Structure formats: C-alpha cells, structure tokens
Amino acid sequence: MTSNPAEDLAAEPAEMAAASEVSGRNTVVLVGFTALTNLADGVMKIALPLVATSLTDSPALVSGVMLALSLPWLLTALHVGVLVDRYDRRKLVWVANGIQITVVGGLLALAASDALSLPVIYACGAVLGVAEVLAMTSAAALVPDVIAASGRERVNAWVAGAETVCQEFAGPFVGGLLVGVGASFAMGATFVGYTLTAVVLVFLVGRFRVAVTEDEATPPVHAQISEGLRFLWEQHLLRVLALAVAVLGSCWGAWYAVMPLYATGPMGLSAADYGLLVGALGVGGIVGALVVGWFNRLFGRRRVMILDVFLTSVLVAGPAVTTNVWVAGCVTFLGGMGGTLWTVNVRTVMQTYVPMEMMGRFGAVFRLFAFGAVPVGAGVAGVLAEQFSAPTALAVFAVASLIVFVPLVRVFTADVEADLVARLRQP
C-alpha cells in the first residue's frame, strides 16, 4: 500500500505540534525536577557542614563533610555511568530518590533526639553522595532523550538556572535559617524536597533507555567503562574541557570546604549570614542563566567560557585577600554567574558531540573529573587551612585555576565554535 503525499504533508504540522507540546511538557518537568532536587541538595550541603561546626572547631574535620559528600564521584561515577546506559534512566533517578529519602529520614530522627555526631554525618554524607552521583548522571542523560538538539541550549539554560537558584541561593539561604532554628528543621525540609522530586518525574514523557537489539550481547562492565574513557581521550575538545572542569571543580571544592568556618569565624558571619553569602552564588547564577544566550551571541561561546575561568579565580581570590563582607559578596556573585555560563555551554557541547548510547558513560566520566575534583580540592584546602590559614588555601587555588587558560584557548578555536553552532541549528 502506497502513502498519499498530500496526507503526509497534512500530517506533518500535526506531528510537529504534538512533538512541540511534548517537548514543552518535558521542559517544565525537567526544570521542576531540577529545582526541587537542587533545593533539597542545597539545604543539605549547607546544613551538614554548619552542624559539624557545632561539634568541632577543626577546619580539617569540618572540610571532611564536603569530602564525604563529594568523594563518591571519584569512587562510583564510572560504574554508575554503565548503569545509566544499560537501564531505564528515570527509574534510576527514583532509586536515588529512595536512598536520599531514607538517609535524610534517619538524620532527621537523630537530629530530633540530639544524637548527631561527626562519624554519623560523614557516613550519611557518603551515602547521599552516592545517591547524588546516580541521580545527576541519570538526569543529565535524560535531556537528549526527551529534548531535540535545536532546543537544548534553551533547556540547559533553564535547568542550569534552576540548579543555581535552588542549590546556591534558595537552598543555602533556607538551610542557614533552618540550622539556626535547629538541625531537625533542615533535615525535615530536605526530606520533603526529595519526596516531591520523585513525584514530579512521573509526568516526564519519552524513551528513557537506550534501544538495543534482542541478539545484542551486553559487554562486561569493565569493557563499557573502557569504551567511555577511550571516547573521552579521543575527543580533543572534550578532553581539554574535562581537564578544565577538574581544575575549576577543585577550586569550588576548596571554597565550600574552607568558607563555613572562615565565614563564621574571622569574617564574623552568623549561620544565616553565611547562607546569604552562599546565596550570592545563586544570584550570580540567575543572572548567568538569563544572559547566557545573549552573551553567546554577542561575544561568542568560546570567549564566554574563557571568561568563567577568570571569574572562578576571582571567587577564591577575593576572600584570600580580605575579610570584607561586601567584597566577598561581589566576588561570590561573579563566581556564580561564571559558573552558570560555563555549565550551560559545556552541557550543550556534550549533548552535541556525544552519541546518545554513550551519554551515561561519557557523562559519568566527565563528572568524574568535575565532581571528583571537588573532594580533592576540599581535602587539600582543609589541610592547607589547618597547617597555614584559610586565606593561604584559597590563594593557592586562585593561582591554580589560571592554568586552564592556555589549553582552552588553543583547543576551543573559532573553527570549532563555528562547527558547534552549525550542529545546533539542525532540527
């Protein structure tokens, strides 16, 4: 039976309209999911270190909380990437949500009975870190599953904006206020946030698992991990971006590890004030999400990403040279803006050049560099702050961040940027 060309042409607008409606719905779901989960993460990542400051005055021990939360990226990311490419990605996010709800429920019970201790915080932080690896890797792989190439930069901007607002602004602000009232209030709010996150994903529409043929044998886990690593190594641009994000991630880890005790000590801030300071990251991130498209068109994606390297250096250099709260707030704002500009553009590059069946493994490998560097930065900064001072630790990372400039400029050329733009214009 042959098709009728006139009927095919008439069906196309209806199909395009249906696809647009699904894409719009998925955008709302992804942004809502991102907002809720990052709000809960933001509260937890502020609450646990601040609770630790009430149990010890050692910079190294306090920085150990961030180490526990972020170390799973080094230990589990590669294997989680294989899971994401083998199984239903939405179900994996639900598994992560279940782990988060269980652990936070336990923390809530301990906080209510005044039984929290540093070993308990470290252990729970490590489990929450594993859940975060699973949730973030799976959620990132969902974006190219349900959003067309031409709409990904816009969706990435919305998602990055939601991440920034909730994890770096609303989450820290709310977390600081709730810890000021009591640790149990912070844990309770986080518990509710993770529960709502699981509900929102029910409304996502699309295919959440890579299609495979029935006779296709599943390679061993180690073989799939090796394939992901080889793919990254063979892609020059992606390899340099992974190096850059590792250095920048270590700077952020150092900042988050050192600042709780430094801000509530020499800078003279309360827990709520520290939440506001971290919130400046979120304000900058909001601005970054709003202007990223305009900046990319006006200055070019390449220059915008290079700008973030400088802004990250400013983020850690500011508190190293002064305890002035206003200066710290300004550089924190700039760091947050640069972070969002970088995140949106790197995600767009990844989703453009990485095949769909490789998204889980590549995303895990890339995040191994990005988030795996966070505990390294946190640990090194904690030791430097313990042996010398917090300003010394921050200054070291401010200088280290500048090494990213040369390889990024040499590899992310104008020709590469032109090719990326051409690919993004495809339907």
pLDDT digits (tens, 9 = 90+) for 372-390: 787 788 888 888 888 888 8
Determine the average pLDDT of the residues in 72-77.
79
Task: Enter the tokens of residue 56.
Answer: 């010890």
| pLDDT score at 209 | 62
Distance CA 322, CA 413 (A): 37
5 pLDDT higher than 60 = no
Which of residues 190 and 180 earns the better pLDDT score?
190
Helix residue ranges, H only, 388-424: 390-401, 405-411, 414-424
A 10 A CB-CB count for 18 gives: 10
Is the separation of the CB atoms in 135 and 97 below 8 Å?
A: yes
Which of residues 257 and 397 earns the better pLDDT score?
397
DSSP class of 213 = -
Question: What is the CA angle 295-373-54, rounded to 5?
Answer: 105
Q: Confidence band (pLDDT; 50, 70, 90) for 16?
A: very low
Backbone angles phi, psi at 300, to 5 degrees: 95, 140
| pLDDT score at 237 | 85
Distance CA 97, CA 92 (A): 9
| pLDDT score at 18 | 47
- Domains of the chain, each with CATH number or no CATH: 19-205+220-424 (1.20.1250.20)
Determine the average pLDDT of the residues in 172-192.
76
Q: Confidence band (pLDDT; 50, 70, 90) for 14?
A: very low
Half-sphere exposure of 117 (CA within 13 A, CB side): 3
| Per-residue pLDDT tens over the stretch 219-277 | 666 777 777 777 777 778 888 888 888 888 888 888 888 888 888 888 888 777 777 78
Determine the average pLDDT of the residues in 186-201.
84
37 pLDDT higher than 50 = yes
| pLDDT score at 127 | 93
Q: Confidence band (pLDDT; 50, 70, 90) for 123?
A: very high
Distance CA 116, CA 8 (A): 65
169 pLDDT higher than 80 = no
Taking each helix axis from N to C end, the angle separating 236-264 and 221-234, rounded to the nearest 10 degrees, works out to 100
Determine the average pLDDT of the residues in 106-116.
84
CB proximity list for 360: less than 8 A, separation 6 or greater: 81, 82, 83, 84, 85, 86, 89, 137, 138, 141, 210
Distance CA 56, CA 122 (A): 13
Task: Enter the tokens of residue 123.
Answer: 């252990």
Mean pLDDT of the chain: 79
| pLDDT score at 226 | 76
11 pLDDT higher than 50 = no
Is the separation of the CB atoms in 160 and 287 below 8 Å?
A: no
Distance CA 120, CA 112 (A): 14
282 pLDDT higher than 60 = yes
Task: Enter the tokens of residue 18.
Answer: 């249906």
> For residue 413, how far is the Cα from the chain centroid?
26
| pLDDT score at 51 | 81
Determine the average pLDDT of the residues in 40-65.
81
Distance CA 332, CA 315 (A): 5
Secondary structure (H, E, C), 333-383 = HHHHHHHHHHHHHHHHHHHHHCCHHHHHHHHHHHHHHHHHHHHHHHHHHHH
Q: Confidence band (pLDDT; 50, 70, 90) for 17?
A: very low
139 pLDDT higher than 70 = yes
CA dihedral 175, 179, 185, 191 (to 10 degrees): 40
Distance CA 415, CA 410 (A): 11
